[in-house]
Structures are given as structure tokens and as C-alpha cells.
Structure 1
Amino acid sequence: MAKSKPATGTTANRGGAARSSEAPRPIEEERALDTKEARQERKQRVLTQGQPALVGNIADAVTVKSLNLFYVIAPDGQLPVKGDHGFGLYLNDCRFLSGYEIRIADAAPLPLATSAEQGYRALFELTNPDLHLDEGKLVPKEKLGVRWERVLDAEQTTVHERMTLRNFGEEAYELPVTLLFHAGFEDIFNVRELLKGAPGKSAAPDWRDGRLQFVYHGADGLRRTVTIQFSPAPHAMKECAATFRINVPPRSSETIAVSIILGEEAEKAAGKRPMVQQFTGVDDLAVGLREDSENWTRQHTKLQSDSLLLNSVVDRSLRDLGTLRSQLADRLYIAAGVPWFVALFGRDSLIVALEMLAFQPNIATETLRLLASYQGRSVDRWRDEQPGKILHELRVGELAHVGEIPHTPFYGTVDATPLFLLLLGRLADWTGDLALFDELRDPVERALTWIAEYGDISGNGYVEYQSESEKGLVNQGWKDSGDAIVRADGNLATPPIALVEVQGYVFAAKHAIARLFERAGEHERAVRLRSEADALKARFNRDFWCEEQGTFALALEAHGRQAAVVSSNPGQALWTGIADENKAHRSVARLMKDDMFNGWGVRTLSTAERRYNPVGYHLGTVWPHDNALLAAGFRRYGEDEAALRVFTAIMEAAMHYRHHRLPEAMAGFPREDFQVPVRYPVACHPQAWAAGAVPFLVSTCLGLEPHGFVDQLRIERPLLPDFVDRIRLCGLRVGRGTADLEFRRTSEGTDVVVHAAHGGLKVDVVR
């Protein structure tokens, strides 16, 4: 697919966003904007909220995306013109179009079915209520069909739409069809209601030559536009509405084509790029997009099984990751999730790359190179930047450009840096190649230095975090909402905070990088890193273990006090191998009790804790990616039954979601209460590390252990969950070779058949 370019007349900033060199803000405004108190106040509002967005429920939203252009649509195909909601047409952290409604004879059509299976294309089937036309004529309900197709063209930043009105009746109808629009040009942080007020100015809507245009003059010097053109031309044009008179013969159909063109360019260059396009056939455009999607899936290890559900979920996972591909300048990356997190994230990008190593190791290669290019170089308290630190989040919208938020990029994450090192080591296990390690040697050294010098705030040997914000607690682990890290008494933990799973990440990262130093001939460095990791493990098992709870504490807060609540975080620590054997087994037993395991997976927080909330973002919800990492931890310590139970639960949850797409999170209500997973109201879908969860569960339960440097694949204690009897993997890459493998259930366990092994790859099965 062709890639978009920076807008004409702009310069690309380090984040790849178009930033104008024209019309700087007055110095008085800059000084007022940049006062320490004002900046910290804004940062507190943005980074301490308890959920990702404060808008209404989007659990049933239909989402489609192509590169940086994405659409979030209500189930009836509409974008409400009034009210606070998250629906809209978005580009580069801005919601350009926030309202879009269709009325037939002043009535809204009724939804019948929706689909967005292909990721870049949405289809809505609607019908009519009773319609009262002129002269008392009635169109009885369900006599009309409205087929509404939308296809995204990221190269032209355009949505091409086709509304087909079909008359299933026996007489002709002349129908007044009105399309109503609203363009607010809100920054994503305004849409999420984390900040109030847009700093720029909107012009009045304008009709020219049958086209409707909205214009916004951003405070960042960018002119953003929405141009809407129609075929046929509207019969009436008024303010933000286009009205057509459509004559539909019996058993026939008529079509309205709509193109919505988004523009973003420097003010001085405005008007040079025509906001007019030839109408593109929806079907022709979809053919090219479909081929791009198929090319993406063909690049991955192919999975086939006798379970239609597993085949469908894995296929959906791969396609969702393809949908989440986004663009930063001329580089592609996988965004964290639609709609709130279509941006480059450190932790999310690294974890999904880890999840996908068995299916597509190139994701890891691209992710490591991109994140290394943004690695922290200096101390910047506003952005929480420190030398060697890997970024948390990069934004390219108006509020980022004018300094209202610190995401330029923002480095407020404690775990991305060790995860960066861990991914590099795990990737080398699969590829058997030191080339990327050699290429990234300087970023590796800086990351290790950050862990030793900046990460250990208290000097106690643990990697901790403490926000520079004096007015609010900002959490910087994967549970990064402001109320996520709590004590048993229900109060928030006091920083500096050392999270349980982060210590595991550091432990595993040092061992992974030590192996690479060993391969590179630097034996003393490898020995030193292993010694540091082993010393960390000894301290960890002493200081984090909570005998009363029978598992590890969520965190150590100020003065080494335990945040002694039962949470899912220790399960991720097990994944890294930092736990002593007996403590690991007891932790698994504790995590699988009913107050933690709700039937769809392990909750983020026990129902017995004072802060438990089944719809709290990190206070009792169930996250697919979290459960995938937990299952890997269970397997690491031989707790196979628990791992398979988690795998089965996540798969059964996927059955209840449209297209078998796992969302970011599910509510924590017990399975027996409703027999279906309760949707978390503002969960992202698709979401990257949720999409990677099932592929990772597959590779975990099949026992895939790569040793790429010696061209060997070890398959350790292969398991199949109860819902599948056969899995075949084709084109699995390890070292210089590939393998085609089949796993079959037998009366004695799981047999492994090597159908093919190329490139000198050896496959050994260990039971």
C-alpha cells in the first residue's frame, strides 16, 4: 500500500507529525502555557484518571482503520450530531468528523446488521420505520433496505461511502433523504474528556459547488479541513445538511455516493491542495485493500486446527494487528488500540512483539529499531525523560504540538526499558542472529545504565517510579491508571513504587542480554549481568513474598512497605522466572481461586480487596494479554492444568465478541452471573496486545522453545486444550530454518509430527 507523506508546506517533527513553521504563538501565551504549576496541573488531569476515557459506552462500536485514518461508528451506522460520545472519524490524534446522521422522511433508519470483518471496510444493513410522506402517503416499516458501505483510503485520507436504498415494495416511493454533519476537530484528549477546550478556532461551515467544507485553524499553525462531496448533487443544501429527493421504483434501488476528505496542512499552504476527488468505486478500492490485508497474513506462521473457533480467533488476531499498523513519518508500527490509543506506545508495542515472536518476528525487529530511535537522551521532568529510558507514548495532535500535554514523546513508564532489552534477547533466541544486537549496542548500554542509575530511586536494588507531578499519583506500570496501585486498606500506594512484575522484567532482561554478550565474546559482562539478576531474585523472593496472602505483593511502596493485595501482577512475574519454585506454585493456586478467576480469566484484583470494582480499569477487570502472560508463567513452573484452564476461558470469551475479536479488557463479573462476558464500556477494539494474546497462548501451550543460534527448536511438554485435537503450524521460523509441525491428541498425551524441516533446523521433543 502506498504511504502518506507529510502535508505540503510543513516540516516533520521528530514524531513524524506535520508541524508548521509559521504563525508561532505569542511569547506571552507561551510563558503562560509553560508555567510549572499549569503544566503539572495539566499533566495531573491527563495521567491520573482512573479509566482511559470518560465518554459514554463504545463497547458495541463498529471500528475500521487504515494506517492513521480510523472510524468509530455507532451500531446503527450513525455518528450522533449532539451529545458527548467517542464516535467519529479520526486522523493523527484529531477527531475531524464527530457527527453524521441519516434521516429518511425525518426518521432514523433502524439497524439490522453490521460488519467490519475486513478491518478497513464497514457494512451496515438498515431498514425503515413507518414513514409518512407528503399527501399522507405511508411507507410501511421494513419496505426499504438501506445498505451503507464505508471504505477507508488512507493514502488520500478519504472515506468513500455508498448508500444504496432498495425498495422491496410494489409501488414507487419518492423519498426525502437528509444527511446531517458536524465537525468538531477535537484533539483525542478532548474527546476522552481528560482535558477541556480546544485552543484553535473553527470557521463557519461553507457550501461551495455542491460540496460542504468545515475548517479549523489550529493553535499549532495547522489548518484542518473536512470536505464532503456527493453524487448525485443534493437537491437542497442548508448549513450542515444535504437533502436529496430519491425516486425508487418498486423492486429497484438508487445510490448516493459520499466522499469525506480530510486535510491537514500548514496555514500558509492552505488552498494549494484541492479538496476535490474523483468518486472512487467502493468495490475497486476494497480489492486493493483486501490484497494488502492478505499479504500481511501470508507473512505469518500459518495455523490450521480442527477447531473452527481457534482458527477464527487466530485469523482475527493477525488481521487486527494488520489493521493496527500505523505510520510515523515513513515508518510503520503497530498502534496500541482503537480509538483511544492509536499511537506509538513503548510497553504495548514491546509486549505484542513478544507475543508474536513465533508468528512474525519482524514485528519485534521493527519495534526495537523504532523505539531505539526515540530513546531518552536528557533529563526532562515535564516529559519524565531520562537518558536511556524507552518512551511510553507519542502523540502528534494539536495539544501535543502546543505543549498542553507532555506526550512529545512522554517517557512516563517504568517497564518499557527492561521490556526493550527482554524483547531483544528473546528475538535473538528465535533468529539466531547477533546483527540487531550489534546495531543497537548503544541503546542497550544506555538502557542498562538507566536501570542501574535512574530506575533505582531508593537505592534498594529495585526499579521504581515516582512521578514528577507533586499533585497526583501517576502510575507507570502496565496498570497505569491513577487508582490502580493500592494497599490492603484501600488507600493508594505511596511512591516511590516498585511493581512486582517489573522486577521480573529486569531479571529476565538481564539474563537475556547476558546471553547475547556471551555470544559476542564478552564473557565477563555476561557473568556480571547474571550475578546482578540472581541477586535481584534473592532479594525479590524475600521482600515481595506475602505469607498471609499466599502470593507476592502487588508492589513495594515508600520505605519498602508491601502493597499486600492479591492481584494478577505476580502471574506476570512468574512468566519471567524470578519466583522461587515453592512460592510460584502457591501463587498459581492463589490466582486460580474464585475471587481471582471469574470463569473468563484471572481478574486484575481480587474481589476480596477493598478497592475491587468489576468495571474498574485495573481494579477487577479481566485482560486477555495479562492472562496470556500468566498462562506462560504457570507453564514455566509446570502448572499445566491452570495454564490450559486460562487458555480455554479466554477462547470461550472470544466466542461472544463480534468476529471473535478479543477486546482490551472485560468486566470482572463472575461467569455464572450472566453466562457471557460483560463488556468493559470503553475498551479498545481492536487492541494490539489483546490480538496477540491467543497466538502467544498457542505457542506457550505447544511448548515452543527456540534455540536459533544452534538451529534447534525444542518442544517442551506440548499440550492441547480440551477444545482442539489437532494443530498444524506451517512455516515456523527458527534460526536459518523453518518447520512444518503437527500436534495431535492421543490417549497418552500430545504427539508431535515433523512434516518438514528446512535450512538445517533440528526439532527435538522433550516430555
Structure 2
Amino acid sequence: MGSTNTIRILDGNTFVVSEDTGDIEATPSEPTGLFSLDTRFLSKWVLTVNGERLNALSFDDLQYYEARFFLVPGMATHYIDAKLSIIRERAVGGSFREQITVLNHDENPVDLEIRMAAASDFADLFQVKDEILNKKGELYTEVEPDRLRLGYRRGNFTRETVIASSAPARYDRDGFAFSIHLEPNQQWETRIDVHTVAVGPGGRDLRMGVRAHGTERLALQHDLEKWIADAPKVNSQHGRVASTYRRSLIDLAALRFSPLSLGGATLPAAGLPWFMTMFGRDSILTCLQTLPFTPQLSKTTLRILAALQGTRFDDFREEDPGRILHEMRYGETAAFEEQPHSPYYGSVDATPLFVVLLDEYERWSGDVELVKELEQESRAALRWIDEYADLVGNGYIWYERRNTDTGLENQCWKDSWDSISYSDGRLPPFPRATCEVQGYAYDAKMRGARLAREFWGDAAYADQLEREAAELKARFNRDWWVSDGEYFALGLDPDGRQCDVLSSNIGHLLWSGIVDHDRAEKIAQHLVSPRLFSGWGVRTLAEGEVRYNPIGYHNGTIWPFDNSFIAWGLRRYGFAEEAATVANGILDAATYFDGRLPEAFGGYPRDLTKFPVEYPTACSPQAWSTGAPLLLLRTMLGIEPHEGHLSVDPRLPVGMGRIEVLDIPGRWGRVDAFARGRLDLDKLGD
């Protein structure tokens, strides 16, 4: 496959990945095709003219929901004097639409056979990801006079792709074709509509709710314009900040996912191509990053996660009462319980983070009604921390998967198999506890206490939560401190031994507030030291650790989302210079990715590579990477809700110049924030 062009859509429910010609020719292991609801609805979509494949002169991804491809017949060395050109215009909304225009530039008439080869393997996204396409149902094709119907059926699980053209076509089992005659300078065009059908239990088409959002290009355009208009405006003397902000805002719009039960309300999907669905942790952290800019996402996220909160014990899904889901899927493997994501609850951080987001959202919005509406769900989440998450009985949140076939081994944000280790490189036994999750638990208890005292009318419960938080903080600072390195351990094993590596997780501890103030300065120093800070950002694992690898997924790469929360934590403890250093590195890196930060990039030293090296299989766009520049803006300007008002305390990196953030929404209405960075005296001297 050649270079790929990714079309990102309005609601995050559908996406297309194609070659730079617009063609799709997928193998079971390639994330190319038309995808929706975790199913590939088109695995082949190849345009030919007179039996010849086409080559791209250029392509333009006009908006996240549309693209245009300019093509000619022949190989790259042959088409300089091409007498024919083809334009493919593609848009994705609730369905997939493609306009094909053929132009004859010859002085003579031509007769052409235009053909589109079409097929679908209806692969589940998990099958694509795992490179295992094992279909247990029946694939079928129905050729009708005015359409082609591709389908897959397994019990009451049915998926169909229905293809029709505005110009008369000859349909067959392998696609459809047109025989056309063009006079000199004449053009021909047709519009092809591809509708996806997803039938669930009871014969209901699950796509109906999605289709109601509107599939027309104009509706998508108006929605994007409104999304941008409703968000604060960012102007900056340094152009990278404003351009990165706009790119993030548009990508965030593209990643909006509409769960089938919400009737059009949206929350952030995790990322393209593998994670275009709701994730508890990812959606919550993205909402925290973007609260000053797109607060509406938080309300939807809180409500849908509350609605799907665990209510029982289920080892297959790793569900407990009060536990917040990790991941929800709609594909075949989830429907037939070949994997547990219907939903799956195997994370230990989403549950305390749910309470953190509810409190933070109220601080910004003043939405007391939502706080009261979600009181019982919040109490259940706080109860889960103490009653079900403490597997060892020492007051910490632990994890050990109960679904040993398909459950996640590591249920923290660093969820790869080798992300938690001792300093000698060995992996600890289970259950495991990681440091940042204890910080989230502390923060949840403190915030839960505020909610209980101010809105739930339960001062006794508030006192209890504050007492528990204080005890947790004291216990944590005793048990997790690595005295010979003067930092907090990444994790503990069930015997209390420290996973004593130096990691980026210590920055999350600052954000949560669990760090004793007399130890915060050492943590700040570590975060911007050469072992952790590459010049572009803070590495997930420090240089010099046994498992350090600059392109190891969680063992040395730089994650923009991770860095945004690290910077926020540094500001919380008063380390504004260090926060600005981290923010500056990440925003510098963003310019090399045209403003779109990937999921992760290499942890190589900046003076070695001179540019950030993208991780080879990073999701892009990814929600919490998209949210990172927004949280960094908040951090640099020191924008915080304070006693019903918005306070601003800017500390910009040296040389950044003036930044304006206008019309910041909140309980105060809309206000503006301004900041000016200090001059770079060294450059002035030059």
C-alpha cells in the first residue's frame, strides 16, 4: 500500500483509510477500509479506467470529513501528457459518498470503461488489529438492477454495505461499471452512495441513530463552523500556538463519538484507527484537558459513563459495583463474547478520575444539577476505591486481571505488558499497584468531600473522605518514596517491594496533590533533568533504566498527554518555570507534525535527532494528544476557576511572545485571558 490519507468524520462513528489515490485494497492485517461500529464495511474499493489503475497527481484532505483526489491513468513516468484526468471527491458522515468526475482533454472523442471493484470482508476491528480474520458467519452478495448489496450474517448479527450510483451502472458480484463516451473537452460524473447497515438483537438497525446526525456535506460544514465559533479564540504572536490550537480543535471535532444510546450527544473517542470508541480513562482525561474550551464534552462523558457504571460482579468483563468502564465495542467479537468489551471494565484509574472530572466540571460550569444527578454514581465510585480495589488490604488501589484469556494485564494508563518493572528490569508479580492511581484516589476523595459538603448536604461523609485522603497521603509518602533516588516508585508489588524505576508517572502525582510539599522540589528537578526530559518532552521511563528504549511504547517514548498533566502538576506546586519548559518542548514538537501531536514519539535527545521521531504505530489523531495543547495553554496562562470567577496567572516560556485566549466559557459567562512571554535576551544579542 502507498501513502495513506485518513478521512476523519463528524461524530467519530465512521472513518475511512485509503491510499493516496483514494483506493482501498485491504489485507486482514491492514487498518485500511471503510469502518463503522468496529466493523470494516469496505475492504476493496478500486477505481480503474479501461482496466488500468490510476495514479495520484495530488490529494487534498479539505476537512476532516472530506477529501479530493486528482488522478490520471498510467504510471508516474507516463502521465506527463495525460489526455484524461479523474477527480474523486469523498465525504463521510453517517454514510459514505463519493463523486467521480472524468474529464477528456484530448482533441478526439474517447470511449471508456469505468469500473469500481468493491468488496467487504466485514472484519471486526479486533481481528484486523490482531491479524486474525476468522469469520464464523456467512458472507453474501446480492446483485440488484439498481444497487449492489454486500452482507455478512451470523445468527442475529447482520452487517451490510449497500452501494448505488446516480448514473446507470452495471452491477455484478465484484463491483460495478460504466461504459461512457466523451467528446473533446467533455466531462462525465456520477455520485456513488454507500450506506452501512448494522442489525442487532430484535432486528433493529443500529445505524439509524447515527444517520440522524445528517450525512450531507453542508450539515457537516455547518457543524464544524459552529464548533469552532463556540470555542474560545486563540491569538498568538508566535504562530505555532494559534495554529496548533486550531488543528487540535478541528481534530477534537473529528473524534467526537456518539454512543448509540445517546441520540446524538457526543464524547471524545480515543483515537484513529484502533480506538474510535469510548474509553473511560481516555475520554475523562481528554475532557479534563479541554474543559476551558469545549466544556460540553464533559457533561456527555460523565452521563454516559455513569449510565454504564458497573453494578455487579462479572469476572469476564472484570465488572464490580461502582467501577467505571474501560472500553466499549460494537463489533462481532464483542457481540458473541469472544472478547469482553461489551463493556469491559479492566482499568483502575477511570473510577477515581470520574469523580475528579465531575468536581472539575462543576468548578468551571456551576452545573449543580449534574452534581446532584450523579451523587449516587459518585458515591459508588468512591466506595469502589476502598471496598473492591484494595486487593491486598493495605489501603491502595491494586489490579490483577480476572479474565486471564483476553483481559488486560496492566490496568493503568501504561498498559503494555512490560511497562511496570523493577530497576533491574524484572517484571513484578500480580497484583500490582502504580503510583499515579493512588494520586487519583487521593484527589477523588478530596474532591468528593467538597461535593458532599457543598451539594449533597452530607458533612459527615465529607469529613470521612478528607480523613481518608489525609491517611492515604501520609501512607503513600512513606511507602512509595525511593530514598536513594529521591523520587516516588512507579509501583509496588504485593509484598510491598518498590518498582523503583524513575518514570514520568511522578508528574501525575504533582497534578493530584498527593506529594508532600517538602518533596515536591525534588520531583520537579527530576522531571526536567536530562534523564527524563529529552528537550521535546518528559520520557515515560528515564534514560539509564534497564528497560529504557527511546521507542519503547511505555518505556522511553514521549506522550504529549502525559506531558500536559505533568506541566499542570508542576504549576500546582508552584514550579512555573519547569512547567513552561515542558510546555515549550511539546509545542515545539507539534510544529513538526503540522500541529497534530501523535499518540507518542521517540524519547531521543533533542540535540541528537534535531526533530521529534514519531512512534511507528502511533494513533493520529488521538484524543488526549489532541487535548494536550489545550491543557498546556491553560497551564501557561495559569487559567483556573477560583471562587466562582476565573483567575489568570500567566508564566509563558521565554521568547513565546503575546498570547490571547478570548471568550473562555464558564460560570462567569465568557472572559478573556492575556499573557506576554519574556524576551529571549540571547537572541536579541545576536
TM-score, with length taken from structure 2: 0.90
Distance 1:734 1:252 in 2: 56
Once the two structures are TM-superposed, the CA of residue 223 in structure 1 deviates from its matched residue by 2.2
Once the two structures are TM-superposed, the CA of residue 600 in structure 1 deviates from its matched residue by 2.6
Give the total of aligned pairs: 670
Residue 15 of structure 2 aligns with which residue? 70
8 Å Cα contact 1:190-1:198 kept in structure 2: no
8 Å Cα contact 2:654-2:678 kept in structure 1: no
Once the two structures are TM-superposed, the CA of residue 174 in structure 1 deviates from its matched residue by 4.1
Query: SS in structure 1 opposite 2:671?
Result: strand
In structure 2, relative to structure 1, the CA distance for the partners of 1:227 and 1:304 (3 Å cut) is same
In structure 2, relative to structure 1, the CA distance for the partners of 1:253 and 1:507 (3 Å cut) is same
- Aligned to 1:297, which of 208, 225, 228? 228
Once the two structures are TM-superposed, the CA of residue 673 in structure 1 deviates from its matched residue by 4.5
Structure 2: which 5+ residue stretches go unaligned? Answer: 682-686
Is residue 2:100 matched to residue 1:163?
A: yes
8 Å Cα contact 1:388-1:449 kept in structure 2: yes
Residue 314 of structure 1 aligns with which residue? 245
Residue 227 of structure 1 aligns with which residue? 162
In structure 2, relative to structure 1, the CA distance for the partners of 1:202 and 1:572 (3 Å cut) is same
In structure 2, relative to structure 1, the CA distance for the partners of 1:143 and 1:602 (3 Å cut) is farther
Q: Aligned letter for 1:333?
A: L
Q: Aligned letter for 1:129?
A: G
In the TM superposition, 1:270-349 aligns within 5 A as 285-328=216-259, 329=261, 330=263, 331-349=265-283
Distance 1:326 1:180 in 2: 30
8 Å Cα contact 2:491-2:499 kept in structure 1: yes
Is residue 2:664 matched to residue 1:732?
A: yes
In the TM superposition, 1:709-748 aligns within 5 A as 710-716=643-649, 718-722=650-654, 724-745=656-677
Residue 420 of structure 1 aligns with which residue? 354
Distance 1:144 1:669 in 2: 47
Is residue 2:194 matched to residue 1:254?
A: no
Once the two structures are TM-superposed, the CA of residue 374 in structure 1 deviates from its matched residue by 1.0
Distance 1:131 1:604 in 2: 43
Which structure would you say has the larger RCO, counting Cα contacts within 8 Å and 6 or more residues apart? Answer: 1
Residue 496 of structure 2 aligns with which residue? 560
Distance 2:363 2:252 in 1: 23
In structure 2, relative to structure 1, the CA distance for the partners of 1:478 and 1:267 (3 Å cut) is closer
Distance 2:680 2:458 in 1: 45
Query: SS in structure 1 opposite 2:635?
Result: helix
Once the two structures are TM-superposed, the CA of residue 175 in structure 1 deviates from its matched residue by 4.1
In structure 2, relative to structure 1, the CA distance for the partners of 1:317 and 1:139 (3 Å cut) is closer
In structure 2, relative to structure 1, the CA distance for the partners of 1:730 and 1:747 (3 Å cut) is same
Q: Aligned letter for 1:381?
A: D
In the TM superposition, 1:342-421 aligns within 5 A as 342-421=276-355
8 Å Cα contact 2:62-2:68 kept in structure 1: no
8 Å Cα contact 1:129-1:140 kept in structure 2: no
Once the two structures are TM-superposed, the CA of residue 300 in structure 1 deviates from its matched residue by 2.1
In structure 2, relative to structure 1, the CA distance for the partners of 1:163 and 1:723 (3 Å cut) is farther
Q: Aligned letter for 2:400?
A: Q
User: Deviations 1:177-213 (Å, cap 9, x if unpaired)?
Assistant: 332222011111111116551232112x332215322
Once the two structures are TM-superposed, the CA of residue 465 in structure 1 deviates from its matched residue by 0.9
Query: SS in structure 2 opposite 1:729?
Result: strand
Structure 1: which 5+ residue stretches go unaligned? Answer: 1-55, 133-137, 750-767
In structure 2, relative to structure 1, the CA distance for the partners of 1:225 and 1:688 (3 Å cut) is same
Once the two structures are TM-superposed, the CA of residue 161 in structure 1 deviates from its matched residue by 0.5
User: Deviations 1:709-756 (Å, cap 9, x if unpaired)?
Assistant: x4322223x12234642222222234343312332346799xxxxxxx
- Aligned to 2:547, which of 592, 600, 611? 611
Distance 2:161 2:646 in 1: 53
Identity across the alignment (%)? 37
Distance 2:389 2:634 in 1: 32
In structure 2, relative to structure 1, the CA distance for the partners of 1:252 and 1:404 (3 Å cut) is same
Once the two structures are TM-superposed, the CA of residue 82 in structure 1 deviates from its matched residue by 4.5
- Aligned to 2:417, which of 465, 468, 482? 482
In the TM superposition, 1:100-249 aligns within 5 A as 100-130=45-75, 140=80, 144-154=84-94, 158-167=95-104, 173-193=110-130, 196-203=133-140, 205-219=141-155, 221-234=156-169, 238-249=172-183
Is residue 2:608 matched to residue 1:677?
A: no
In structure 2, relative to structure 1, the CA distance for the partners of 1:196 and 1:505 (3 Å cut) is same
Query: SS in structure 2 opposite 1:694?
Result: helix
Once the two structures are TM-superposed, the CA of residue 433 in structure 1 deviates from its matched residue by 4.4
Residue 34 of structure 1 aligns with which residue? none
Distance 1:538 1:142 in 2: 75
Q: Aligned letter for 1:180?
A: A
Distance 1:252 1:654 in 2: 45
Distance 2:361 2:200 in 1: 41
Once the two structures are TM-superposed, the CA of residue 106 in structure 1 deviates from its matched residue by 4.0
Query: SS in structure 2 opposite 1:312?
Result: helix
Residue 15 of structure 1 aligns with which residue? none
Is residue 2:533 matched to residue 1:577?
A: no
- Aligned to 1:90, which of 24, 28, 35? 35
Between stretches 491-500 and 463-472, larger displacement belongs to 463-472
Distance 1:77 1:613 in 2: 36
